[in-house]
Structure 1
Amino acid sequence: MPASPARGPRLSIVSLLAAIALLGTQPAQADLARIRQSGTLKVAVYKGLPPFSAAAGSEYGGIDVALARALGKELGLAVSLMPFDADENMSDDLRAMVWRGHYLGYGPADVMLHVPVDRAFMRENDKALIFAPYYRETFVLVLDRERLPALRSLEDLAGQPTGAAAGSAGANALLAGAGGALRDKVKIYPEADDALRALFSGDIAAAMVTRAQYESALKAAGQSAARFATADISSPLLPPRGWAVGMAIKAGEKDLAQSLEEALNALRQKGELQRIFAGYGVTMQEP
């Protein structure tokens, strides 16, 4: 008996739906296999985040850029950088660069670097797998020893011009410090490097920046560390122990996560991770 005219199309639709369902249940290994087949690891790094990632002429350079290339070499893959502008918050960055893609049409990457490894943040962003911390960021108050030989608390900054980057936690800590008594002397600069240049030139007596920002700027400027001191300042607006940064990939891609973590551990054991940080004048702070 000949088949009904509607029977063939109906079976085709059923077969298509079954195929789509099967694709949705493929193991995470398929994503790692796809990357290996392409031969290229796509890595998302922030624009304008020195010393970790920033434009250097027509290319990008920095600790995270060097780390991305070292990870690719360890995995036997070429690396394609995907520099991007930070959005309003880190969750938006994860959505754009890790698990969905940017509304402007680029992304997601295979992996994103410089992501906070924090339990609460990880719970709030369960569509991303955050893992493999490789550095601990901390804010420090950098002092010009000639003007501030010692400092016990933020109150000791009274009457002294200080600086920080706009929108940073360091700026907020200074503006709120000593009950707001420092506010009139706080200078807000577009970037941390601008605040540090002002400190190095003697325009201000102290700057609140991250340790990595200070150490890399000191090396780039050829300044002597003997002239400056760093103080760890307690403030309710600053994480007391800083924060660890690591990687993020799309949730469920466990084989990719394992491969990246093994590559990172290999770099750490060989001393390559420490050499990458040292190349930018930054002391390796274990997470």
Structure 2
Amino acid sequence: MLLLALALALPAAHADLDKIKQSGVLKVAVYNDMQPFSSKEGGIDIDLAKALAGKLGLGVALLPFEAGENLNDDLRNMVWKGHYLGYGPADVLMHVPVDKGLMAENKRVTIFAPYYRDRVRLVRDVRKIPSCESVDCLMGKKVGVEKVSLAAMLLLGEQDGKVRDSVKIYDTAAAAMEAFKAGELDAVLANQSEIEGAVRGDANYPLSELSFQRLPRQGWIVGLAVKKDNEELAKALQAAANDLEATGEMAKIFAKHGVTPTKP
């Protein structure tokens, strides 16, 4: 009976990939306004989606969407079910945390192909803060963070709010970085990718690693997600991602957007 069940399941998995290939298009969900990974102007995830599809001999149809209240919502709406308003699902979702807990909570999806490790970093104007080895260097300075972000939580809560009076809240990390580059801030605490995409290696804006009690030092890894029974699609995308890594094409995509490719 087990062999019969497996035999019946295999054609369905192949049929799904075949259907995508017959359409000639890979539907890829990307987050709205997640610079430098995705925005109206483009981004790493958008270029990576096109490269992955190209390896499969397909074109790309992007499905931009606003993040839900949590990742479970995003996986439901964009991977395995679709939004109740009729948007989605896509064939694959970009920028999904490769996290055991998330995988355990979402049995209807497969999360795989890790392609980047992000971390929280401090960027400072070296002319205003010559060196920085702890949060003490931020006392009396103006430091930007994105509202409702890990960076904001860390900085506002560190050492019982020691540098709380130095913190300036912005709607997005991109807005904080714009204010920083305009000279309105002395530093910004944000994701490394968000910082690098904005400063593009400017020597006046070095990055520092600060130690926070509640910060995972290894950062977090992001990858792809497909519907659980789309096994052949997952295998094809994994092979495509491996090829992009081996040929250096993935590193070129990151470099195009000013971000250091960090292997998971």
Return the TM-score normalized by structure 2.
0.93
C-alpha separation between the residues in 2 aligned to 1:277 and 1:24? 38
- Give the alignment partner of residue 284 of structure 1, picking from 247, 253, 261: 261
Structure 2 residue aligned with 1:54: 39
C-alpha separation between the residues in 1 aligned to 2:26 and 2:10? 23
Query: What aligned pairs does 1:110-149 form with structure 2 within 5 A after superposition?
Result: 110-149=91-130
State whether structure 2 residue 172 is matched by structure 1 residue 191. yes
State whether structure 2 residue 198 is matched by structure 1 residue 217. yes
Post-superposition offset of 1:237: 3.6
Structure 2 residue aligned with 1:261: 238
State whether structure 2 residue 154 is matched by structure 1 residue 169. no
The answer to whether the 8 A contact 1:155-1:177 is kept is no
Structure 1 residue aligned with 2:4: none
C-alpha separation between the residues in 2 aligned to 1:164 and 1:226? 21
Matched-pair identity in %: 47
Determine helix, strand or coil for the equivalent of 2:47: helix
Structure 1 residue aligned with 2:52: 71
The answer to whether the 8 A contact 1:136-1:285 is kept is yes
Post-superposition offset of 1:229: 1.7
The answer to whether the 8 A contact 1:40-1:79 is kept is yes
The answer to whether the 8 A contact 2:146-2:171 is kept is yes
Between 102-111 and 233-242, report the one with greater CA deviation: 233-242
C-alpha separation between the residues in 2 aligned to 1:148 and 1:117? 35
Query: What aligned pairs does 1:219-258 form with structure 2 within 5 A after superposition?
Result: 219=200, 225-258=202-235
Q: Report which of the two structures shows the higher radius of gyration computed on alpha carbons.
A: 1
Determine helix, strand or coil for the equivalent of 1:179: coil
C-alpha separation between the residues in 1 aligned to 2:206 and 2:103? 35
Determine helix, strand or coil for the equivalent of 1:240: coil
Structure 2 residue aligned with 1:85: 66
Structure 1 residue runs without a partner (length 5+): 1-21
State whether structure 2 residue 43 is matched by structure 1 residue 31. no
Aligned-pair RMSD on alpha carbons? 1.6
Give the counterpart letter for 2:238 in structure 1: E
The answer to whether the 8 A contact 1:127-1:251 is kept is yes
The answer to whether the 8 A contact 1:155-1:178 is kept is no
**Which segments of structure 1 move beyond 2 Å, counting only runs of 4 or more?**
22-27, 236-239
The answer to whether the 8 A contact 1:53-1:63 is kept is yes
Return the TM-score normalized by structure 1.
0.86
Aligned length: 258
Post-superposition offset of 1:140: 0.3
The answer to whether the 8 A contact 1:42-1:81 is kept is yes
Structure 2 residue aligned with 1:19: none
